[in-house]
């Protein structure tokens, strides 16, 4: 598709020197982040672009780790948000219960206080 981007971002260096549980960001080994970004200019182009991008995503699955980079998320189900934080998710929920029990800060990739 003319306005679809497949971007690879290298994650390494200082990020890899921290243990995965040290911060909310668990992806600490040397790796690449793979981002698919599809755009189109008219509503008529939506269906073929979405179908093409989903097919590309499926084709890439055997080649990538089962991991999620939180900064690449859009509107995703809770399971995907949980996967983005890995083993840190439960700890982040406990922090959220302490500092934001009413879930005021929920407009981004939400961690539920419950």
Structure tokens at 114: 């419950």
* Beta carbons within 8 Å of 28's beta carbon, 6+ residues apart: 15, 16, 17, 18, 19, 20
d(CA 11, CA 65): 14
pLDDT in tens, 60-86: 999 888 788 888 887 788 888 888 888
- Say if residues 66 and 82 touch (Cβ distance below 8 Å): no
pLDDT in tens, 33-70: 888 889 999 999 999 999 999 999 899 999 888 788 88
pTM: 0.68
CA dihedral 67, 14, 73, 20 (to 10 degrees): 50
Residue ranges covered by each domain of the chain = 4-67, 76-114
In the chain the beta strands, taken as DSSP E runs, fall at 4-11, 31-38
């Amino acid at each position: 598709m003319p306005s679809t981007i497949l971007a690879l971002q290298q994650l390494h260096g200082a990020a890899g020197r921290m243990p995965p549980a040290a911060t909310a960001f668990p992806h600490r080994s040397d790796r690449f982040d793979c981002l698919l970004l599809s755009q189109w200019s008219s509503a008529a182009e939506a269906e073929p672009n979405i179908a093409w991008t989903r097919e590309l995503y499926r084709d890439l699955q055997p080649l990538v780790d089962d991991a999620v980079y939180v900064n690449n998320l859009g509107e995703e189900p809770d399971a995907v948000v949980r996967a983005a934080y890995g083993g840190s998710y439960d700890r982040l929920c406990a922090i959220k219960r302490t500092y934001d029990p009413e879930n005021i800060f929920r407009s981004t990739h939400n961690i539920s206080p419950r």
